[in-house]
Structure 1
Amino acid sequence: MTATAPPVAPSDEPAQTPARRSHLRRFAPVLLAAAAGLLLYLSFPPRELPWLAPLAFALFGVAVYGRRMRAGFGLGLVFGLAYLVPLLSWTGVDVGPLPWLALALAEALVLSLAGLGIAYVSKLPLWPLWASGVWIADEALRARFPFGGFPWGKVAFGQPSGVFLPLASLGGTPLLGFAVVLSGFGLGALALRLKALCGRERARVLRDGGVVAAAAFTVAPVVAGAVLLPFVPTGAEAGTARVALIQGNVPRMGLDFNAQRRAVLDYHVRETMKLAERIEKGETKRPDLVLWPENSSDIDPYVNMDAYDEISKAAEAVGAPISVGAVVTAKDGSTRNRLILWDPEKGPGATYDKRHLQPFGEYMPYRSFFRIFSKDVDRAGNFVPGERAVAFDMNGTKIGNITCYEAAFDDVVRDQVDAGAEILSVPSNNATFELSQMTYQQLAMDRVRAVEHGRAVMVPVTSGVSAVIRPDGSIAQRTGMFEPDTLIADVPRRTSETLATRAGVWPEVLLVAIGAGGLAWAVTRSRRARRTEA
């Protein structure tokens, strides 16, 4: 009698058929790209998780590795949307989702070119190096095109602290971003290589050239940042200046923050007069200089004598020059976003006009065309940009001015240091963007700029967050949001230039050349392969 096997009960789970497994493999890169974009977003303020950025690029590198260019473009678009849609959500405050999503899509399309290029060079030896260069080339493009560029979201701006930050003093934001991306792609390449060698002897794996190169790419940027950390400049080379930052607050949030005539100016005068009372009572020392935010005078003090008198009263009471932000009508009739050096005895003197204006805000490109989609375009201004950097001499201290949005642009900040700035000031007005992430993202930029140029950075903001940033990028003092406050600090004056300042645009040129070299090599290899097949 022959024994028979008992019947097997049918499973409730569907069988993993080859077609199903193929379907999952097809969508795995898309999911990886989306997860990578979300991780990169999460690395940015108001969270301070800079270590997430290399992990994001490790996932993205695995997603695009060995893919065709068309797939790389698509995966780059998925990555860009997952990253930029949440990162730029503040642009939709008060104007709705259409401008926000249109901007995120436009930027993601530029970023998708990086995905295309990275996929193309991923077949080369040492591909993380070439891929990182391609990424920096794409960031260089986004910083200049279209409409003068939109560098917001550069990888470097998500690194206001952490081991990579000191590299900013060596090669600016391009080198800082390159290091983060290279470490991430190196980690991704290491994972791919170890998977390919799975089952081999351990000694053989450790001697494998691909493993060694990928590990070096992963670790070298971390080591470089750690080695540079003790050399980040912080000392007072020309003494210190006692600086007061005034955050007067605004009567309301949103685009109509200045709808009540002179209210914003009155708030800043009131806060300055409180400081003057404390000085008079001996509760605090008199500052050498006072910094007000962008748009701190909501009416033109050249035209409105009541504004002129109020600012003069505040300067006389505090006994120190004030840098005042105002929208003014220039002598040629154009509208300018201007900083005015207001002396307590002489009144208004030197001026700085914002040079890099915000498109769709301070001016409207192709206004008639975009009006087809929304009449909100008519709320954009007609500002004219300034032409040169100006460092204010405030009681013997040279203050370099970078107005709000300008902090995102490498050349604008560098020009102020070249103009002799011993301390940098980034007066801003974030009231338009209410309680969004925008102010924290911009504050992170300012911290990176401090290390990049070895300067303390003052951030006076109408509604917060105002801050005093040390030359090493750490925050000495800060305010809350939408509350009047005054910060007073003894700030180091520095005169030497970091290597990043002296090198100017050349680190970016070199890193872009690495990406271009990788693409050229990939083209050459592809042509040779086609000739061989023929």
Structure 2
Amino acid sequence: MPPTPDTATAGHGTGVPPAAAAGQTPDGPAGRKPAAASEDPAGAPGRASVPGPRRLAAAARRHAPRSALAALAGGALAAAFPPLGWWPLSLLAVAALALLTRGRTARQGAWTGFAMGLPFFVGLLQWLRVIGWDAVLGLSVIQALFFVPLGAGLAAVSRLRPWPLWGACLWVAEEWARDRVPLGGFPWGRLAFANTSTPFTPLAALGGAPLVTFAVALSGGLLAAAGLALWRLRRRPAAVPPRTAVPRALVPAGLAAAVTLAGQAVPVPTDADDTVRIAVVQGNVQQPGMDFLGRPMLILSNHVEATLGLAEDIDAGRTERPDLVIWPENASDLDPYRDPAARAAIEEAVRAVGVPVLVGALVDHPTKEGYVENQGIVWDPQTGPGDSYTKQHPVPFGEYVPFREQLSKVISRLERVPRDFWPGDHSGVLDVGPARLGDVICFEVAYDGIVRDTVNDGARALVVQTNNATYGHTGQPEQQLAMSSLRAVEHGRAIVTAAPSGISAIVAPDGTVLQRTEEFTQDVLTGELPLRDGRTPADRVGAAPEWAMAVVGLLAWAAVAWRTRRAARRDTAAQDSPA
């Protein structure tokens, strides 16, 4: 990545005092040497010779403490997410990266970002170990690469005032890119998803997950500014009077507290326009892991069995008849349109319970030979299968194999995905009995646009049909449930999560988990589901706040590059002019 200007030009016109004015040694903070003269002040690499092994080894030793601190911050950030859920660590991790990149060159900032990102994603995505640790490491490296420009950008904008603001915008920009590329993006690990039951959460109703990320990153940056001010007071008690230095620390600390608590002033709509009684069936699987499907009909039989048990309880008066029943993703691993046994089993269960059932099933594509669709099907006890929703965003390497012909020659494990899933082309708004529900399947809950479009198309509550059997007891189900809690607040909608092996749950519009199952148990949840028609500001403004914050961050970075290039041209002109 292009380096930023050296310390001799860093303070020019940016509001950051040069090293001498800050009371630092000529080497800069922490003994850092000024950037090499061969580095392009505008941020482009110069024509310096390639350093020898001794210089590389010396550089590695010099930067090892900073890299170790960055890795520690990455581990702390992973612990901020479920299953641990120590969300204050997300603030400290952001603050750490801000301090570790402050005043660095872009190259140093880029490396620091990667040094933080890799352990973060390894810790966050360790649930992929059921596929293989090579999968954990491979995806973690790809995701950590997005922290490379983040670190470089943070190093650059640290030369601008107010740098915590520009840094927060760059965090949003990093997530904007990672949510979209490559192959449709992978939004796991957003700061917002570590703060789904925190003081920041209500902000989702105003600007969605991006606004929550911005607030968390801004608070962390302000904490870094406060810590830096206190450190300078400790290092230079004679240079700066306490009555001057202490307010310098109190102001950013107070602003950090204000940003953290700002969400409490946001009204989260929770009043129901109507209610519907639901039952969520968790049939369980025979075995966890990659081979959870086992033999055909086993998982379907489990869900039929649990639904027949519910019907017996209804007939015996032990429970009230629901208005509708929800099955999870892949409750039927056989196409009920083509397999007579699967269809007969589903119809037996639906007729016994006597209300519509939303069935998750794998369905052969009607025209594309060899492709399968991941569907939610409304099954009526009188008329049979009706409206359906097909998952729009299949998971690469999980539900389809990109570049299958080329990659299958070198990765034999891809044979475990024998057929590619075909994506749907519309949102999952379905009339299930008396309720107009929005179906979102599995990982789609992580994508802002899919959930938002479903609500804007008329969903009065959301259903997340998911299948976490592969990742049972790894923390992945908890991470996905946390996303549902944030989406509930963001859209003012109750959310039902239905999984064959857990965690199934009912989440209120304010994000509270009202009921949940344990993993790998057969269970049925029943309760009143609030239905709502109103839309939140986040639904109305859509992705506009995210784009605006991302663009602001990138423009701030560009402003630093422009200023430093202009300063370099002035210096060059001054040197070339006659005395």
Q: Say if 2:200 is the partner of 1:171.
A: no
Change (3 A) 1:255 1:41: same
Please, which runs of 5 or more residues in structure 2 have no aligned partner? 1-30, 34-58, 573-579
Instruction: Report if the CA contact (8 A) 1:398-1:420 is conserved.
Output: yes
- 1:98 deviates by 1.4
- 1:217 deviates by 4.3
The match for 2:109 among 43, 56, 72 is 72
* In 1: Cα distance, 2:408 partner to 2:348 partner: 43
Change (3 A) 1:213 1:129: farther
Equivalent in the alignment of 2:277? 242
Aligned partner of 2:320: which letter?
Answer: K
Equivalent in the alignment of 1:418? 456
Equivalent in the alignment of 2:190? 154
- 1:196 deviates by 2.1
CA RMSD of aligned residues (A): 1.9
The match for 2:564 among 523, 526, 529 is 526
The match for 1:486 among 517, 520, 524 is 524
| Deviation string, structure 1 residues 442-499 (Cα, Å, up to 9, x no partner) | 1111111111101000001010011111111111000000010000010110110111
Q: Say if 2:553 is the partner of 1:515.
A: yes
Aligned partner of 1:43: which letter?
Answer: A
- 1:506 deviates by 0.5
| Deviation string, structure 1 residues 186-215 (Cα, Å, up to 9, x no partner) | 10121112222331322212444xx46633
Q: Say if 2:151 is the partner of 1:115.
A: yes
More displaced 10-residue stretch of structure 1: 464-473 or 306-315: 306-315
Matching of residues 458-497 of structure 1 within 5 Å: 458-497=496-535
Instruction: Report if the CA contact (8 A) 1:233-1:454 is conserved.
Output: yes
- 1:438 deviates by 0.9
Matching of residues 398-437 of structure 1 within 5 Å: 398-437=436-475
Q: Say if 2:241 is the partner of 1:205.
A: no
* In 1: Cα distance, 2:132 partner to 2:366 partner: 36
Equivalent in the alignment of 2:177? 141
Instruction: Report if the CA contact (8 A) 2:428-2:440 is conserved.
Output: no
Instruction: Report if the CA contact (8 A) 2:365-2:422 is conserved.
Output: no
* In 1: Cα distance, 2:85 partner to 2:63 partner: 34
Equivalent in the alignment of 1:3? none
| Deviation string, structure 1 residues 299-334 (Cα, Å, up to 9, x no partner) | 110001111111111111111100001111132133
Equivalent in the alignment of 1:441? 479
More displaced 10-residue stretch of structure 1: 477-486 or 108-117: 108-117
Large movers: runs of 4+ above 6 Å: 22-25
- 1:23 deviates by 9.3
* In 1: Cα distance, 2:355 partner to 2:32 partner: 77
* In 2: Cα distance, 1:31 partner to 1:233 partner: 44
Change (3 A) 1:299 1:356: same
Aligned partner of 1:88: which letter?
Answer: L
What SS does the corresponding residue of 2:551 show, helix, strand or coil? Answer: helix
Change (3 A) 1:216 1:441: same
Q: Say if 2:139 is the partner of 1:103.
A: yes
Instruction: Report if the CA contact (8 A) 1:114-1:135 is conserved.
Output: yes
What SS does the corresponding residue of 1:426 show, helix, strand or coil? Answer: strand
What SS does the corresponding residue of 1:106 show, helix, strand or coil? Answer: helix
Instruction: Report if the CA contact (8 A) 1:296-1:326 is conserved.
Output: yes
Equivalent in the alignment of 1:4? none
Matched pairs, number:
511
* In 2: Cα distance, 1:447 partner to 1:305 partner: 38
Equivalent in the alignment of 2:363? 328
* In 2: Cα distance, 1:377 partner to 1:371 partner: 6
- 1:373 deviates by 4.0
- 1:416 deviates by 0.8
What SS does the corresponding residue of 1:492 show, helix, strand or coil? Answer: strand
- 1:122 deviates by 1.0
* In 1: Cα distance, 2:61 partner to 2:183 partner: 41
What SS does the corresponding residue of 2:224 show, helix, strand or coil? Answer: helix
* In 1: Cα distance, 2:133 partner to 2:263 partner: 39
- 1:524 deviates by 2.0
More displaced 10-residue stretch of structure 1: 34-43 or 371-380: 371-380
Equivalent in the alignment of 1:5? none
* In 1: Cα distance, 2:174 partner to 2:297 partner: 44
Aligned partner of 1:317: which letter?
Answer: A
- 1:24 deviates by 8.1
* In 1: Cα distance, 2:182 partner to 2:94 partner: 25
Instruction: Report if the CA contact (8 A) 2:325-2:357 is conserved.
Output: yes
* In 1: Cα distance, 2:506 partner to 2:281 partner: 12
The match for 1:377 among 388, 411, 414 is 414
Instruction: Report if the CA contact (8 A) 1:128-1:217 is conserved.
Output: no
| Deviation string, structure 1 residues 252-274 (Cα, Å, up to 9, x no partner) | 11222122120100000100111
Instruction: Report if the CA contact (8 A) 1:169-1:452 is conserved.
Output: yes
| Deviation string, structure 1 residues 400-427 (Cα, Å, up to 9, x no partner) | 0100010110000011101111110001
Q: Say if 2:306 is the partner of 1:266.
A: no
Q: Say if 2:87 is the partner of 1:50.
A: yes
What SS does the corresponding residue of 1:402 show, helix, strand or coil? Answer: strand
Change (3 A) 1:70 1:511: same
What SS does the corresponding residue of 1:190 show, helix, strand or coil? Answer: helix
* In 1: Cα distance, 2:227 partner to 2:201 partner: 25
- 1:124 deviates by 1.0
Equivalent in the alignment of 2:336? 301
Please, which runs of 5 or more residues in structure 1 have no aligned partner? 1-16
* In 2: Cα distance, 1:435 partner to 1:206 partner: 48
- 1:370 deviates by 2.8
Equivalent in the alignment of 2:261? 223
Aligned partner of 1:169: which letter?
Answer: A
* In 2: Cα distance, 1:477 partner to 1:339 partner: 22
What SS does the corresponding residue of 1:174 show, helix, strand or coil? Answer: helix
* In 2: Cα distance, 1:500 partner to 1:73 partner: 33
Aligned partner of 1:515: which letter?
Answer: G
Aligned partner of 2:123: which letter?
Answer: P
**What TM-score comes out, normalization by structure 1 length?**
0.92
* In 1: Cα distance, 2:85 partner to 2:114 partner: 25
- 1:280 deviates by 0.5
- 1:32 deviates by 2.0
Change (3 A) 1:391 1:332: same
- 1:372 deviates by 4.5
* In 2: Cα distance, 1:498 partner to 1:62 partner: 36
- 1:172 deviates by 0.4
